[in-house]
């Protein structure tokens, strides 16, 4: 939980203190604390409950005054154990801690109200919501890696489809060739190295996918698909598995030798995918 003393003061129409005061007025008086392993502690009953068991009723977003990347999410919800209503403050975005990110991945924010509790909703809000629900949803698969271009791909997909899209972030870590003396592929030591390589690759893929996810709003409908293998064919397999309508990837600035020895994943997808492929070029490419 990001409550460090050096946390930037939130800015905007309201501050963190004003939001907490409003929550207290509405009976959300208990403090909730993010813990490791995707769990949340209720200070009223001291129970550590999985984030998925929390019913988030209201949420508000704030950004830092000195650094817009210092993003905070303030959530109102009752404790699933004692039902005491409380407030949880999490960091999200590129500066969020691993614990906060893990909790956000398990929270269901679809039913959370992003508006101030005391602000009455106008009729046009309901009309706009009905119009959005009437539009068909689009299944968008976003292929990412650890580069900034991946964030650009996520941001572009959200700009195009917004809350009308169902997103799958896919990261495939390529297997690295290895040579261990004169060992054959069938030896146990070689097999151990292969297993280790896959384990590390899976973790790297998971980290890259989690990092790219922060480029979209925290309440975006996003699934994750990570694996180790050939990036191009694995992304196509994932697109078929998730019945994707579109594949989005970022374009990388590649040198001559890299193009010779590592063919473009984008080119492979364009030539072999059964659905349209959107390659997003960054400002530098």
The answer as to whether 207 is a domain residue is: yes
Cβ–Cβ under 8 Å, residues 58 and 117: yes
Residue 176 confidence (pLDDT): 55
Helical H runs in 143-278? 148-161, 188-213, 231-241, 256-261, 265-272
Count of domains in the chain?
2
Judge whether 129 lies within some domain: no
Q: Tokens 């980290």, residue?
A: 207
Q: Confirm if 213 and 154 have CB atoms less than 8 A apart.
A: yes
d(CA 164, CA 173): 29
Q: Are 263 and 207 found together in one domain?
A: yes
Give yes or no: residues 58 and 194 share one domain: no
pLDDT at 104: 86
Counting Cα atoms < 13 Å in the Cβ hemisphere of 209 gives 25
Which among 59, 89, 106 is the end of a domain?
A: 106
pTM of the model: 0.48
Contact 16, 73 (CB under 8 A): no
In a domain, 269, yes or no: yes
Q: Let me know whether 149 and 252 are in one domain.
A: yes
Whats the size of the chain, residue-wise?
285
Count of beta carbons in the 10 Å neighbourhood of residue 262:
12
> Are 142 and 226 contained in the same domain?
yes
The pLDDT tens digits of the residues spanning 238-265 come to 999 999 999 999 886 554 444 444 457 8
Query: What confidence score (pLDDT) does residue 139 get?
Result: 92
Residue 108: its pLDDT value, please?
82
For residue 184, report the phi and psi dihedrals to the nearest 5 degrees: -85, 165
Domain match, 159 and 271 both: yes
Both 100 and 138 in one domain: the answer is: no
> What's the pLDDT score for residue 11?
40
From the list 58, 192, 64, the residue with the least C-alpha distance to 119 is 58
Q: Are residues 143 and 256 in the same domain?
A: yes
Cα Dmax for the chain: 74
Residues 189 and 240 in one domain: yes
5 within some domain: no
181 and 48 within one domain: no
Residue 90 lies inside a defined structural domain of this protein: yes
Distance CA 117, CA 58 (A): 8
Residues 6+ apart with CB under 8 A from 159: none
In this prediction, residue 152 carries a pLDDT of: 87
Q: Is the dihedral of CA 45, 50, 55, 56 positive or negative?
A: positive
- In the chain, which ranges are E strands? 30-35, 39-42, 48-50, 58-63, 71-78, 85-92, 138-143, 165-173, 222-228, 246-250, 277-280
pLDDT by residue for the chain (285 residues), tens only, comes to 333 333 333 344 457 788 888 888 889 999 999 999 889 999 999 999 999 899 998 888 876 544 445 578 889 999 999 999 999 998 876 677 888 888 888 888 876 766 555 444 333 344 444 444 445 688 999 998 888 888 888 988 988 888 888 999 999 887 655 444 444 444 444 444 444 556 777 888 888 888 888 888 887 888 888 888 888 899 999 999 999 999 999 886 554 444 444 457 888 888 899 999 988 876 554
CA distances in angstroms from 248 to 32, 53, 161, listed in the order given: 37, 32, 12
Can you give the residue range of the structural domain that contains 24? Answer: 16-106
- Asked if residue 116 belongs to a domain, the reply is no
């Amino acid at each position: 939980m990001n409550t460090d003393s050096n946390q930037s003061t939130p800015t905007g129409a309201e501050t963190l203190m004003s939001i907490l005061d409003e929550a207290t007025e509405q009976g959300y008086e208990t403090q909730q604390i993010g813990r490791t392993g995707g769990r949340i502690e209720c200070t009223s009953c001291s129970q550590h409950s999985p984030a998925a068991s929390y019913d988030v009723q209201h949420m508000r977003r704030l950004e830092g005054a000195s650094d817009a990347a210092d993003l905070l999410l303030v959530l109102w919800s009752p404790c699933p154990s004692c039902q005491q209503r409380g407030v949880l403050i999490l960091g999200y975005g590129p500066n969020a801690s691993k614990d906060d990110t893990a909790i956000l991945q398990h929270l269901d924010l679809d039913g959370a109200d992003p508006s101030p509790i005391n602000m009455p909703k106008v009729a046009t809000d309901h009309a706009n919501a009905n119009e959005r629900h009437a539009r068909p949803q689009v299944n968008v698969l976003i292929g990412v890696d650890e580069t900034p271009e991946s964030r650009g791909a996520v941001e572009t997909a959200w700009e195009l489809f917004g809350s009308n899209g169902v997103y799958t972030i896919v990261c495939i870590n390529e297997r690295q060739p290895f040579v261990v003396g004169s060992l054959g592929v069938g030896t146990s030591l070689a097999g151990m190295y292969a297993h280790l390589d896959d384990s590390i690759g899976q973790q790297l893929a998971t980290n890259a996918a989690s990092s790219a996810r922060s480029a979209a709003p925290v309440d975006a409908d996003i699934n994750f698909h990570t694996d180790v293998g050939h990036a191009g064919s694995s992304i196509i397999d994932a697109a078929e598995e998730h019945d994707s309508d579109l594949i989005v990837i970022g374009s990388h600035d590649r040198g001559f030798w890299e193009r010779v020895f590592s063919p473009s994943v984008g080119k492979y997808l364009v030539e072999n995918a059964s659905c349209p492929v959107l390659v997003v070029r960054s400002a530098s490419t």
